[in-house]
Structure 1
Amino acid sequence: MQVKHVRLFLFECKDPSHEAFRLGVAAAILLSLAHVFANLLGGCSVCTHEEIQKAPPSRQCSLACLFLTWVTLAIGLTLLVAGTMSNNKSRASCGLTHHHYLSLGGTLCFVHAGFSVGYLVTSTAALGD
């Protein structure tokens, strides 16, 4: 599907892409679901600073991965929502360029997946300690 797109330096005018909107919504939903499942399977727990300091290295690594999943979720979801909203049918407008938001958000989905797998592996290893 072709989308009419005019760009001048940092400003752009474009017609929204309904396909990009649908894919952006799907990506945001899947990222959220993946985060919920990773936290449920990994046994999300809250620890105090003292408990973290006394925890074995595998548990500390697990908590670091958990923290990084939350950071990538926040940034990735923000980028996906911003990119998706720019492709909403009712928002054919001109403004600052933000056409890379969807691709950056999608890339962060894969980064989130890596940290989630790391969290699940290290939390499983921490159970053995």
Structure 2
Amino acid sequence: MAKQLAALVCLLVLALDINAGILGIEAEIAQNKVKHVRFLIFECRDPSQKAFKLGVAAIVLLGLAHVVANLFGGFVCICSRDELDRASANKQLATSCLVLSWIVLLVAFSLLIIGTMTNSKSKGSCGISHHRYLSVGGILCFIHALFAVSYYVSAIAITDEGRKMNERPVGGSQMAARPHQGDLV
């Protein structure tokens, strides 16, 4: 049952991130279809309501994917260099994937918000060109999927390691070879 839940969570995170990435790229395509005049880095553009809606949907899906991966994966932390040296490979991988997923989330989230906000106005505006923010944010959603799923899988592996360590009898076969305190030697 636990393996089925883990597979379901992985598929859910992948589906959310992939859909967020596709919506971000679709928002960029919709934004490029509106009338605009460009001169060097300056541009006058009419906002696209479709790009705005797609951008908001991409932001929501990216946030949901991150929440699901972190909620079901738990929180894995390495607080010191000594703890890093003693940590298992799964714990080191989980921590690095957690940090990288947060970094990618912040960059993708920022780019998607900037690209979406340029389309939130009711009338056209002129200013510095905001090209490719939505599509780059969408591509980063795919990268976020890799790190979020890697984090979740390694966090589950840490939980399984802990469970196996607790199930093992203390001392194993060596315990049977030692006499009990009450026995005479």
Whole-angstrom distance in 2 between the partners of 1:77 and 1:96: 20
Show the counterpart of 2:183: none
Show the counterpart of 1:71: 103
Show the counterpart of 1:62: 94
Whole-angstrom distance in 2 between the partners of 1:78 and 1:51: 33
Whole-angstrom distance in 2 between the partners of 1:31 and 1:97: 24
1:5 is displaced (CA, Å) by 1.0
Shift in alpha-carbon separation, 1:89–1:61, aligned structure 2, 3 A: same
Shift in alpha-carbon separation, 1:65–1:55, aligned structure 2, 3 A: same
Whole-angstrom distance in 1 between the partners of 2:123 and 2:63: 25
Show the counterpart of 2:14: none
Q: Pick one of 34, 47, 59 that aligns with 1:16.
A: 47
- Is 1:47 aligned to residue 75 of structure 2? no
Show the counterpart of 2:132: 100
Identity %: 50
- Is 1:113 aligned to residue 145 of structure 2? yes
Segment drifting more, 41-50 vs 79-88:
41-50
Number of aligned residue pairs: give it: 129
1:91 is displaced (CA, Å) by 5.4
Whole-angstrom distance in 2 between the partners of 1:29 and 1:94: 28
1:47 is displaced (CA, Å) by 3.3
SS at match of 1:87: coil
Whole-angstrom distance in 2 between the partners of 1:18 and 1:36: 27
Bigger RCO (CA 8 Å, 6+ sep): 1
Structure 1 unaligned segments of length 5 or more: list them.
Answer: none
Show the counterpart of 1:88: 120
Whole-angstrom distance in 2 between the partners of 1:53 and 1:110: 31
Whole-angstrom distance in 2 between the partners of 1:65 and 1:29: 21
SS at match of 2:102: helix
Whole-angstrom distance in 1 between the partners of 2:101 and 2:93: 12
Name the amino acid aligned to 1:36: V
Give 1 or 2 for the bigger CA radius of gyration. Answer: 2
TM-score, with normalisation over the residues of structure 2? 0.66
Shift in alpha-carbon separation, 1:91–1:106, aligned structure 2, 3 A: farther
